[in-house]
Structure 1
Amino acid sequence: MSEASLPRPGSLPARLVRLYGGLALYGAGIGLQVESGLGNDPWDVFHQGLALRAGVSIGTVIIGVGALVMLLWIPLRQRPGLGTISNVVFLGLFADAAIFVLPTPSHLALQSLYVALGVVSIALATVLYIGAGLGPGPRDGIMTGLVRLGLSVRLGRFLIEITVLAAGWLLGGQVGVGTLVFGLAIGPLTQLFMRWFPLS
């Protein structure tokens, strides 16, 4: 492909590539953490716990929860975009596909590699799909809505994630060292990737 035929940065085709590439990468990151067996990020602890209770795939729960969370946007006066709807529809599908394809590691070294790759993938994916400028994911929108009501980003994110983490753990979701690694690394990694992939 020639340079002239590549989509221009900031053009709609380039933004769509960022959006759907980011969602696919995010799904892969979820799959890596789930298959590691060492603990998921807070939202996926919750998703996994619900999936275990309901007897369905984690991707199905991701889709269902995403749709329900969007209802909370109404009192927060948040407006969904194409990226929001795409997140609801595709993220769970990509996560289920990754879990189906990835082999389950049996050694700690490979499990640890899965966690590391999963956290890096999710950080990069977040920058890609939010940076596409086509609307945040439903869970991201709750945080930004709370910020609009006067909470700080840090406090809003903490309150949301500690709530879903506790609920997911009580439901049987996997909490472990992978959860801790995610909590410590996701912020710095996301900030780093934002320097490399500025907003469209």
Structure 2
Amino acid sequence: MSITPVPRGAHVTRRLIQLYVGLALYGASSALLVRAGLGLEPWGVLHQGLAERTGVSIGVVSIIVGAVVLLLWIPIRQRPGLGTVSNVFAVGIAMDGTLALVPDVHGVAARIAVMVGGIAVNGVATGLYIAARFGPGPRDGLMTGLHLRTGRSIRLVRTLIEVAVVVTGFVLGGSLGAGTVLYALTIGPLAQFFLRLFAIGGKPAVEAAAASGESAADACGPDGGDAAVTARTPDRAILPK
């Protein structure tokens, strides 16, 4: 499995900064959801469940799971980019680092505020990371690869995988709750907004997403929109995890 070479150009420095800031913020946002204790994003539920069972930190579990998922790219012939490989390590490291710095949160109001803040930061991180156009995260590459190999829609493939991930994580002891639901409802619109905000070189969200192998429909939000139709890009998932 070869890695897509890093492109060269006037915007590469900004793109690299954007990539790693986005990955760091993604890990930090996941850590904030852990501290809120009101439910995690789908893969976070699995990571937390495995961490509870193994005694390994949730950040290290995220790295291990990301590496295992990346190995699954081989039979489905997906090609990782710099962002893909960086995602495996950077998100988990940032997550454990944030958990070490941020104390437990007490009180319902404070927990809700941290939960909302975590989801908002996750949206910012998603826009930064995807708009940098260095390749999808390992979990999204698995989804898009299965989509290409099976012919099933990415929405169906993604839903089936994430339902399996959430159920498995919950059975193992992961946190499922209001934060999980709120994340599912809001991350699409948040990602759409921040993809447009952080697009590099004047590229609209759908072009930035397509260049990274992502979904024009999802980059424009749950309903896709006219821009997605105009872009005529393949149906792929956007989230970096």
TM-score by length of 1: 0.91
Q: What is the letter of the counterpart of residue 53 of structure 1?
A: R
Cα deviation, 1:42-63, whole Å, max 9, x if unaligned, reads: 1000000001100010001000
Look up the match of 2:196. Answer: 195
Q: CA deviation at 1:10?
A: 6.0
Please give the alpha-carbon distance, in whole angstroms, between the structure 2 residues aligned to 1:33 and 1:173. Answer: 12
- The corresponding residue for 1:83 is 83
> Offset at 1:142?
1.1
Q: CA shift at 1:151, angstroms?
A: 2.2
The residue number in structure 1 matching 2:158 is 157
Matched, 1:15 2:8: no
Q: C-alpha displacement at 1:145, in angstroms? A: 1.3
* 2:173 paired with 1:168: no
Quick check: 2:126–2:194 contact (8 Å CA) kept in 1? no
2:41–2:183 contact (8 Å) kept in structure 1: yes
2:40 match: secondary structure? coil
> What are the superposed Cα offsets for residues 62-109 of structure 1, whole Å, 9 maximum, x if unpaired?
000000000111122111111111111111000001111112111111
Aligned mates of 2:146, 2:187 — CA distance in 1: 20
Q: In structure 1, what is the equivalent of residue 65 of structure 2?
A: 65
1:165-187 per-position Cα deviation (integer Å, ceiling 9, x unaligned):
00000000011111111111111
Instruction: Give the letter for the 2:68 counterpart.
Output: L
2:132 is matched with which residue? 132
- Matching residue's letter, 1:145: G
CA separation in 2, counterparts of 1:10 and 1:120?
30
Counterpart Cα distance in 1 of 2:183 and 2:81 = 27
Note if contact 2:50-2:61 (Cα within 8 Å) is conserved in structure 1. yes
CA deviation map 1:132-190 (0-9, x unaligned):
11111111111221232322222122111111000000000011111111111111211
Q: SS of the residue aligned with 1:73?
A: coil
Query: Larger relative contact order (C-alpha < 8 A, sep ≥ 6)?
Result: 1
Distance 1:110 1:10, change over 3 A: farther
Aligned to 2:34: 34
1:111 match: 111
Q: Look up the match of 1:4.
A: none
Q: Aligned pairs, how many?
A: 192
CA RMSD of aligned residues (A): 1.5
What is the aligned-residue identity percentage? 52
Alignment-derived partner of residue 47 in structure 2: 47
Query: Which residue of 2 is the match for residue 186 of structure 1?
Result: 187
Q: Are 2:127 and 1:143 equivalent residues in the alignment?
A: no
Give, in whole Å, the separation in 1 of the partners of 2:196 and 2:105.
33
Q: 4+ runs of 1 displaced by more than 6 Å? A: none
Residues 10 and 21 of structure 1: is their aligned pair in 2 closer, same or farther, counting only changes over 3 Å?
Answer: farther
Which stretch has the larger CA shift, 95-104 or 165-174?
Answer: 95-104
Counterpart CA distance in 1 for 2:145 and 2:125 is: 21
Structure in which a larger fraction of residues adopt helix: 1
Distance change in 2, residues 1:87/1:10 (3 Å) = farther
* 1:156 partner amino acid: V
Distance 1:148 1:131 in 2: 23
Partner of 1:3: none
- Specify whether residues 148 and 127 from structure 1 end up closer, same or farther in structure 2 by C-alpha distance, changes over 3 A only: farther
